[in-house]
């Protein structure tokens, strides 16, 4: 995830210098349409393959056939509906872009089963190679080459299409699943019984993620939307590139041991400790540095995003835990119970945006944060019911992370006050606070009281540390040592 983030940032900067903003706008409109259609067309077949305990060749053949048929159907639907969508969006280029983008459903559908098998087998090494190779050799090469050749918007469209096709081809070559067409009612019912719940969950979650942005734009205007979306996206950035890798691993891991709920609970608590110790210091650092981060990176005109960002960062850890609970529920087959919670969450977010808009984007941020906190509690209750983990154990698993967050705040608040007193520029202050936040994490681990130390987590981390260069390995091993 970190490498993909760096690649996407670098390629994005390069393309922004080669392709005019209007072309990016057309592709952004197409992404909204295709993204929503993808969730409708997904049917949850990939997660169903990962979660199912007894999996036969017939299940794989049925899933492959269904994915291809749905992909063909969605591609045809986009071709037929593209003129009306273009008229609704008032863009004459969009219909042609959508017709080509529709081919993505066929390209990605062909690789659904293979990617799911790689995830089920915990073969993330090959998944890593496939994703990086398809992005570099597909999107980056085609999009940048096309932009240099003057293809404009089509360089972006063809880049994403080649990326999707290359990812599916490489996945199929890596796994070679059975692809002979088969439609069997029994296997299809078994897969869709779980998969449709995942798919509907995704649609509802999409509404919860995007509904507040839509309402802010409608009720407060595009300027307010720009400020609010910048604050929300900044809060989500570390969660996207740091914390989202863990749920991808947890779903197949927990699905494999779903019959042993106590073991699932123990794995959830260790994952929760790691998530809290990663997320809480980052959120604390962002809360302290927000005024200088916003003004230093984006300029004074973005200052209105500071307070909403600080409010949203207060629920950054609950937001990460909420996403961490999803794999437990799905691995243990509780997808429809989670669906009702997602519907309640989406309703709370939309209601919060409407009511909060009377107080501007700060009011929206407050009530959306309240909705996130309520969803955190509801998802935690569901997970604890499934795994028989106690509320005390759940709370204690987050204490080390909260301690690191407090240490980060204790280090960065005096540093910020000192730099403000000297009149240092915003960007210089932000960089100093960023370095201070990074340095406070090992300090916080050293200061962790023995009763708070997550020794089981530290024990798990010793094995991957052996792959690091000697100086870094020795330092981290000493940092995570077990006290006498």
> Going by C-beta distance under 8 Å and a sequence separation of 6 or more, which residues neighbour residue 428?
296, 419
What is the SS3 assignment for 331? helix
Residue 42: Cβ within 10 Å count? 23
Answer whether residue 84 is part of any domain: yes
Sign of CA dihedral 244, 371, 349, 254: positive
Structure-token pair, residue 443? 């300090």
SS3 of 45-105: the string is HHHHHHHCCCCCHHHHHHHHHHHHHHHHHHHHHHHHHHHHHHHHHCCCCHHHHHHHHCHHH
Tell me what pLDDT residue 41 has. 67
Q: Kindly list the averaged pLDDT for each block of 10 residues, start to end, along the chain of length 484.
A: 72 71 64 69 80 87 90 89 79 84 86 90 88 88 88 85 91 91 87 81 78 78 77 82 74 82 89 91 95 86 89 93 85 83 91 92 94 93 90 94 95 95 92 93 87 78 67 65 50
The reply to whether 334 and 298 lie within a common domain is yes
CA proximity to 306, closest of 364, 228, 405: 228
The reply to whether 327 and 407 lie within a common domain is yes
The reply to whether 331 and 409 lie within a common domain is yes
Answer whether residue 264 is part of any domain: yes
Tell me what pLDDT residue 484 has. 38
Please, are residues 147 and 19 in contact by the beta-carbon 8 Å criterion? yes
Task: Dump the DSSP string for 120-152.
Answer: HTT-HHHHHHHHHHHIIIIIIHHHHHHHHTT-T
Answer whether residue 202 is part of any domain: no
Whole-number Å distance between alpha carbons of 240 and 5 = 9
CA proximity to 99, closest of 72, 126, 125, 81: 81
The reply to whether 401 and 256 lie within a common domain is yes
The reply to whether 219 and 134 lie within a common domain is no
The reply to whether 215 and 164 lie within a common domain is no
Angle at the Cα of 268 from the Cα atoms of 344 and 324, rounded to 5 degrees: 40
The reply to whether 443 and 365 lie within a common domain is yes
Answer whether residue 362 is part of any domain: yes
The reply to whether 336 and 383 lie within a common domain is yes
Whole-number Å distance between alpha carbons of 52 and 57 = 13
The reply to whether 164 and 265 lie within a common domain is no
> Does the predicted model carry a pTM greater than 0.85?
no
Answer whether residue 467 is part of any domain: no
φ/ψ (deg, to 5) at 52: -70, 130
Structure-token pair, residue 85? 């969508």
The reply to whether 178 and 217 lie within a common domain is no
The reply to whether 281 and 350 lie within a common domain is yes
The reply to whether 155 and 11 lie within a common domain is yes
* Structural domain boundaries enclosing 434: 211-453
> Going by C-beta distance under 8 Å and a sequence separation of 6 or more, which residues neighbour residue 233?
none
Answer whether residue 194 is part of any domain: no
Please, what's the largest Cα pairwise distance for the chain? 73
| Domains held by the chain: number | 2
Helices (DSSP H) in 388-454: which residue ranges?
A: 391-422, 426-447
Tell me what pLDDT residue 425 has. 93
Answer whether residue 24 is part of any domain: yes
Answer whether residue 201 is part of any domain: no
């Amino acid at each position: 995830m970190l490498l993909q983030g760096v690649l996407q940032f670098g390629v994005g900067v390069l393309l922004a210098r080669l392709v005019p903003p209007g072309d990016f706008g057309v592709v952004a409109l197409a992404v909204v349409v295709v993204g929503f259609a993808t969730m409708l067309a997904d049917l949850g077949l990939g997660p169903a393959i990962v979660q199912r305990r007894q999996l036969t060749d017939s299940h794989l053949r049925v899933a492959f056939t269904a994915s291809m048929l749905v992909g063909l159907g969605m591609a045809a639907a986009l071709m037929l509906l593209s003129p009306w969508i273009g008229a609704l969006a008032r863009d004459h280029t969009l219909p042609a872009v959508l017709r080509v983008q529709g081919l993505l459903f066929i390209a990605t559908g062909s690789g659904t089963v293979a990617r799911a098998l790689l995830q089920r087998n915990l073969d993330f090494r090959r998944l890593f190679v496939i994703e990086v190779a398809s992005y570099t050799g597909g999107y980056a090469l085609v999009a940048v080459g096309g932009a240099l050749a003057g293809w404009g918007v089509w360089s972006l469209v063809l880049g994403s299409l080649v990326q999707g096709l290359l990812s599916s081809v490489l996945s199929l070559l890596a796994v070679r699943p059975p692809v002979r067409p088969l439609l069997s009612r029994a296997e299809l019912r078994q897969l869709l019984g779980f998969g449709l719940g995942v798919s509907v969950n995704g649609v509802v979650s999409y509404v919860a993620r995007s509904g507040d942005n839509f309402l802010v734009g409608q009720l407060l205007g595009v300027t307010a939307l720009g400020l609010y979306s910048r604050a929300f996206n900044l809060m989500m950035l570390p969660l996207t590139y740091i914390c989202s890798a863990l749920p991808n691993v947890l779903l197949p891991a927990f699905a494999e041991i779903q019959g042993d709920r106590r073991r699932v609970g123990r794995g959830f608590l260790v994952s929760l400790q790691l998530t809290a110790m990663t997320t809480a210091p980052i959120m604390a650092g962002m809360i302290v540095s927000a005024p200088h981060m916003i003004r230093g990176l984006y300029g004074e005109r973005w200052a209105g995003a500071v307070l909403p960002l600080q409010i949203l960062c207060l629920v950054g850890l609950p937001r990460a835990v909420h996403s961490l609970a999803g794999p437990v529920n799905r691995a243990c087959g509780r997808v429809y119970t989670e669906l009702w919670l997602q519907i309640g969450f989406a309703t709370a977010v939309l209601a919060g945006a409407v009511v909060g808009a009377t107080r501007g984007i700060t009011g929206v941020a407050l009530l959306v944060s309240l909705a996130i906190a309520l969803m955190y509690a509801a998802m935690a209750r569901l997970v604890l019911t499934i795994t028989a983990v106690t509320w005390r154990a759940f709370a204690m698993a987050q204490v080390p992370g909260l301690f690191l967050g407090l240490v980060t705040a204790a280090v960065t608040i005096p540093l910020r006050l000192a730099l403000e007193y000297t009149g240092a520029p915003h960007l210089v202050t932000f960089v100093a606070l960023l370095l201070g936040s990074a340095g406070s994490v090992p300090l916080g681990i050293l200061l962790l009281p023995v009763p708070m130390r997550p020794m089981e987590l530290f024990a798990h981390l010793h094995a991957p540390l052996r792959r690091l260069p000697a100086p870094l390995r020795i330092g981290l091993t000493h940092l995570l040592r077990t006290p006498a």
